[in-house]
């Protein structure tokens, strides 16, 4: 299949007869299903990866579109398409022109490509926080971790960091006594005397 384009853009040529799955596609096909209660590694909201537990499994529908500027998105929610009530009517037909509300609040033109139903995993970390993640973002304990995950992998065992997630009570003490600089000791006037002079 050939996709011609204007210079200086790249022209893509694909021979379906000789196409072999990429390493990423082979790895994705080898991913095993996860079960509730299974210990896994996932990304926390602080950007680091921690061991956590799968607490719930749900299926989520995402839409894929090609924007008019040439970019694409494959993780739009049905309610992100504003030119059609997708929650009531279902997804548009492939190739339909749609209007998409993006994360910046602006509405952009796009062409609908496909609808994908993806298994989502709700994971709970040791600090009690929970996040929803796709299977690509969750790793079992026996899977080979990518370098980017290994470099951000942290251990928060025995709840060592509980003080980070709780608010400490601040003690309210009286004001500390002001110390007078020895250089100006002779010029210092007691506050009570100063108030009496000013009145």
Q: What pTM was computed for the model? A: 0.55
Judged by average pLDDT, the poorest of 36-40, 50-54, 115-119, 181-185 is 181-185
Write the pLDDT tens digit of every residue in 103-117. Answer: 888 999 999 999 988
Provide the pLDDT for residue 28.
56
> Nearest 10 degrees: CA dihedral of 91, 96, 101, 104?
130
Residues paired with 103 in a beta bridge: none
Q: How far apart are CA 101 and CA 109, in angstroms?
A: 9
DSSP reduced 3-state for 59: strand
* Residue 1 scores a pLDDT above 60: no
Could you count the other beta carbons within 10 Å of the beta carbon of residue 138? 21
pLDDT at 155: 81
Sign of CA dihedral 49, 28, 114, 74: positive
Q: Do residues 37 and 54 lie in contact, with contact meaning Cβ atoms separated by under 8 Å? A: yes
Nearest to 115, CA basis, from 33, 59, 68: 59
Report CA 176 to chain centroid distance, whole Å.
45
Residues 6+ apart with CB under 8 A from 9: none
Residue 26 — very low, low, confident or very high, per pLDDT cuts 50/70/90? very low
Furthest CA-CA distance within the chain: 100
86 burial (CB, 10 Å; 0-12 / 13-18 / 19+) is buried
């Amino acid at each position: 299949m050939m996709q011609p384009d204007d210079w200086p853009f790249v022209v893509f040529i694909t021979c379906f007869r000789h196409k072999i799955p990429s390493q990423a596609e082979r790895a994705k096909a080898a991913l095993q299903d996860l079960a509730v209660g299974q210990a896994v590694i996932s990304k926390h909201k602080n950007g680091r990866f921690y061991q956590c537990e799968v607490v719930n499994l749900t299926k989520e529908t995402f839409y894929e579109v090609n924007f008019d500027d040439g970019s694409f998105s494959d993780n739009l929610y049905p309610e992100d398409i504003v030119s059609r009530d997708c929650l009531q009517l279902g997804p548009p037909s492939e190739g339909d022109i749609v209007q998409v509300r993006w994360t910046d609040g602006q509405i952009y033109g796009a062409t609908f490509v496909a609808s994908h139903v993806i298994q989502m995993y709700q994971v709970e970390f040791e600090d009690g926080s929970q996040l929803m993640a796709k299977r690509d973002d969750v790793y079992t304990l026996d899977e080979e971790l990518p370098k980017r995950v290994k470099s951000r992998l942290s251990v928060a065992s025995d709840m060592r960091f509980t003080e980070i997630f709780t608010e400490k009570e601040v003690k309210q003490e009286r004001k500390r006594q002001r110390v007078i600089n020895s250089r100006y000791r002779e010029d210092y006037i007691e506050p009570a005397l100063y108030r009496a002079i000013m009145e």
